[in-house]
Amino acid sequence: MAWTKPERLPLANLPTPIEPLERWSADLGGPSIWVKRDDLTGMDLSGNKIRKLEFVTRAAQDEKADVLITCGAVQSNHARATVIAASRLGMKAHVVLRGVQPELMQGNYFLDRLYGAECTFITPEEYREQRQQIMDNLAEGYKRLGLRPFVIPEGASDGLGAFGYAHAVAEIMEQEKMLGVRFDAVICAVGSGGTLAGLILGKEIEGWDAQVIGINICDDADYFTRRVIEILGEVRSLYLPDLIIRPEMISIIDGYIGDGYGKSRPGELQTIIRLARREALLLDPVYTGKAMHGLVQEIARGRFTGMRNILFLHSGGLFGLMGVTETFQSLLEE
């Protein structure tokens, strides 16, 4: 397959380990569950976003950028990772955050401010309909100041960022050999579509035979199918003209968004608590907690009958968890 491979700027601690969840697997009574610890890509630069940013920030450097502009929720893991990456590379950062400025600095927002980011708060409606225009306007303002801004989309989920998880697939395949295990499927949370698109891209490039399955934590499967096709379309137009994109490449388990993005139900929180106590593995309520809760329910329904090993991608989120500890309080006091 002829293609132009984009350059990568190493920022993450790679490879991240793959570990078995033996007690959890026994509790669930289904396939053996393993976890890819992308929560360990770094301390402050932790989580899945940094894999995408390795490619995006290299492009920013190539354009001699000195300001990174991006967007996300107030507790956005991606915004925090972008801010810290900018600091590491000697750049400024400006994040457009959906919601009201918190009275108390906690979690990812605290780190945004600690690392010196400029923060602009907009309403959910503005975020949904105007976030790109708002970021472009900020970029124009920086240009007038003589600076060189580089705008990064939500989650770094575009054709370039997708290579972060295409690269991860090659890493996983090497670890399969080292561990002597073959994964029947890899499961990831889907919040902007970039990680899922990257895993699918890696599967196509590397010829990996595992199923790639996403569990959406907002919107619905139809929305993310379109989004992943859009991202892969960018890959094809910019880097890989021979890439064949088929809707059947995209597998998304719908039905686990609960009360919506960033909103938790007791069952989801209980899954996080149980896994922490059984395996000392900490998930977050926005992404990995909902995805694991969905995986647990689907195993109970028999969806993965016949599979031997499932790899769960831990995409991070610890700092976001530290911003919503009050949601756990009543459950922990029982």
Q: Show Cβ contacts of residue 287 under 8 Å, excluding neighbours closer than 6 positions.
A: 77, 189, 191, 217, 315, 317
Asked if 187 contacts 313 with a C-beta cutoff of 8 angstroms, the reply is yes
Number of Cβ atoms within 10 Å of the Cβ of 203: 20
Give the three-class secondary structure for 116: coil
Q: Show Cβ contacts of residue 157 under 8 Å, excluding neighbours closer than 6 positions.
A: 52, 192, 193, 194, 195, 197, 227, 231
Q: What angle do CA 97, 98, 100 make, to 5 degrees?
A: 95
CA distance 205 to 32: 26
Q: What angle do CA 302, 304, 309 make, to 5 degrees?
A: 140
Q: Where in the chain are all domains bearing CATH 3.40.50.1100?
A: 18-47+158-332, 49-155
Give the three-class secondary structure for 221: helix
pLDDT in tens, the chain (334 residues): 667 889 999 999 999 999 999 999 999 999 999 999 999 999 899 999 999 999 999 999 999 999 999 999 999 999 999 999 999 999 999 999 999 999 999 999 999 999 999 999 999 999 999 999 999 999 999 999 999 999 999 999 999 999 999 999 999 999 999 999 999 999 999 999 999 999 999 999 999 999 999 999 999 999 999 999 999 999 999 999 999 999 999 999 999 999 999 899 999 999 999 999 999 999 999 999 999 999 999 999 999 999 999 999 999 998 988 888 888 888 888 7
CA distance 30 to 334: 29
**pLDDT for the residue numbered 1:** 61
Number of Cβ atoms within 10 Å of the Cβ of 27: 15
Q: Is 25 a catalytic residue?
A: no
CATH number of 49-155: 3.40.50.1100
Please identify which of the residues 32, 76, 87, 157 carries the catalytic annotation: 76
CATH number of 18-47+158-332: 3.40.50.1100
Instruction: Please count the residues of the chain.
Output: 334
**pLDDT for the residue numbered 320:** 84
β pairing state of 118-122 and 92-98: parallel
- Among 49, 46, 63, smallest CA distance to 7 is for 63
Measure the CA dihedral 218/133/72/288, to 10°: 30
Asked if 125 contacts 99 with a C-beta cutoff of 8 angstroms, the reply is no
